[in-house]
Amino acid sequence: EAGVAQSPRYKIIEKRQSVAFWCNPISGHATLYWYQQILGQGPKLLIQFQNNGVVDDSQLPKDRFSAERLKGVDSTLKIQPAKLEDSAVYLCASSPGTGSYEQYFGPGTRLTVT
Amino acid sequence: AQSVTQLDSHVSVSEGTPVLLRCNYSSSYSPSLFWYVQHPNKGLQLLLKYTSAATLVKGINGFEAEFKKSETSFHLTKPSAHMSDAAEYFCVVSDSEGQNFVFGPGTRLSVLP
Give tens-digit pLDDT for A46-64. 999 998 899 999 999 999 9
Report yes or no: A43 and A37 within 8 Å, Cβ to Cβ: yes
CA distance B63 to B75: 10
DSSP state letters, A1-12? ----EEE-SEEE
The rounded distance, in Å, linking the Cα atoms of B88 and B86 is 7
The whole-angstrom separation of Cα A36 and Cα B68 is 30
Q: Report pLDDT digits (tens) over A90-100.
A: 999 999 877 77
Does the CB of B103 have a partner CB in chain A at under 8 Å? yes
| Angle B69-B73-B76 from CA coordinates, rounded to 5° | 130
Residues in chain A: 114
The total of other beta-carbon atoms located within 10 Å of residue B49's CB is 20
Please tell me whether residue A108 adopts helix, strand or coil conformation. Answer: coil
**Three-state secondary structure call for residue A29:** coil
Residue in A closest to B104 by C-alpha: A42
**pLDDT for residue A33 is more than 90:** yes
In this model, does residue A1 exceed pLDDT 70? no
Mean pLDDT of chain B: 93
Tell me the pLDDT of chain A averaged across its residues.
93
pLDDT digits (tens, 9 = 90+) for B45-78: 999 999 877 889 999 999 999 999 999 999 999 9
- Measured CA to CA, the distance from residue B52 to residue A32 in angstroms comes to 23
Percent of chain A topping pLDDT 90: 86
Can you tell me the distance from the alpha carbon of A57 to that of A70, in angstroms, rounded to the nearest whole number? 16
Distance CA B112, CA B17 (A): 10
The whole-angstrom separation of Cα B73 and Cα A89 is 29
Give B100 to chain A, closest Cα distance, Å.
Answer: 8
Distance to chain B for A80, nearest Cα, Å: 25
Asked if pLDDT for residue A72 goes beyond 90, the answer is: no
- Dump pLDDT digits (tens) for B23-35: 999 988 788 999 9
Which among A81, A52, A77 has a CA at the least distance from the CA of A66?
A: A77
Find chain B residues with C-beta within 8 A of A107's C-beta.
Answer: 42-43
Q: CA nearest A34 in B: which residue?
A: B101
Three-class SS of residue B40?
coil
Q: What is the pLDDT of residue B100?
A: 84
**In A4-112, where does DSSP find H-type helix?**
none
